[in-house]
Amino acid sequence: MKKVITVLTAMILALSLGACSSRDPAVMLKDDVSFRLMDALKVTNQTTNTVYYYYLASVDNQSQEAYSMDSLSFKVTDEANDDIHAIDRKQTIIARSVQPSHSTLVYGYTGYPNNDQKHMGLLFPKNEGFIPFDAADLRQISDRNVRYSEQNAFTLYEDRDFAFRVDGSEASYSYENGSSWVRGLIITYENKTDDRLVVPYITPLCRLTGIRLADYSDKGDLKSMNEDELRKVDFRTDGMAPRTQTYDGTASGYECLYLDPEMSLPCRIDFQFEGVIPDFANYNPKSLNIDLNSAALGYSQELYIPY
């Protein structure tokens, strides 16, 4: 009899453990409309003691009517729905509605102070559903693989899954049609795996310390001049140096949200400064710079573009 009890106890325990470890990567949003977690990534930053969770998911509509993505409601939290205070977050939905027999993608990330959080995932309050990140075989990377370089072309990050390469060697300044431009920065994202992966993409910022043309209307029709003509204009007023400020460039539309299997994607980023030029008379090859940033990786590095 003891042997029978022992066997039954072992079977019950095995079933119990199996139920607890069951990780379903999908929840039903409504009849015939499902949300499925495709990939999840945990980025740990030892230097700043933060942790970021990136996710890529699909919403599949097999119903007979369009599904409005305004109806989608979820949050990143732990399975117990504890109050975890985020320090950074972003969510991108590819389409505002999903037509019958179609699907769309959802990309996002949330950052926290690293308090050794447990069982993190996506909670759907309306549907009482929860998708743990480990349902998609949660991948993990850290800031330890980040590389800094004094070169304008280098590998910023590389591990067994990813390689992020920066090439600013051909980036250059020009003035055209009333705007300053910095063109030619290329960031290449490489997926080494056989799976579609969510990407913690690098955010580039470009700043120019210079002159706003509208402040010097007494110098003539400056916007109609070409670059060579502007370089010859004396912007001094009453013997004083021109008023310079730091301006942020407007980047061309660029987001690398995910990579298909074994995909290498070069992203070209250009920056526009409308109605602004450098102070050409005080040439400084470091006054125009591109700042590469990643809050998740704790990364920040400048590339200098001479003009």
- What is the CATH classification number for the domain harbouring 56? 2.60.40
Residue 112 CB neighbour total at 10 angstroms: 18
23/96: higher pLDDT: 96
Report pTM. 0.85
Task: Look at residue 6 and tell me if it is in a domain.
Answer: no
Q: Which of 156, 163, 59, 44 is nearest to 101 (CA)?
A: 59
In a domain, 11, yes or no: no
Query: Are 97 and 195 found together in one domain?
Result: no
pLDDT exceeds cutoff 70 at 1: no
Whether residues 56 and 202 share a domain: the answer is: no
**Quick one: 180 and 82 in the same domain?**
no
Same domain, 182 and 103: no
Instruction: Determine the structural domain holding residue 113 and report its residue range.
Output: 22-141
Percent of the chain topping pLDDT 90: 65
**Do 212 and 195 share a domain, yes or no?**
yes
Cα→Cα distances 220→210, 228, 235, 294, Å: 18, 15, 11, 42
Residue 225 belongs to some domain of the structure:
yes
Q: What phi and psi values does residue 118 have, to the nearest 5 degrees?
A: -115, 145
Confidence at residue 21, expressed as pLDDT on a 0 to 100 scale: 38
In whole angstroms, how large is the CA radius of gyration of the chain? Answer: 26
Q: Which residues contact 221 (CB under 8 A, 6 or more apart)?
A: none
Domain end: 113, 141, 169, which one? 141
Total domains, the chain: 2
Report pLDDT digits (tens) over 8-49.
333 333 333 333 335 789 999 999 999 999 999 999 998 889
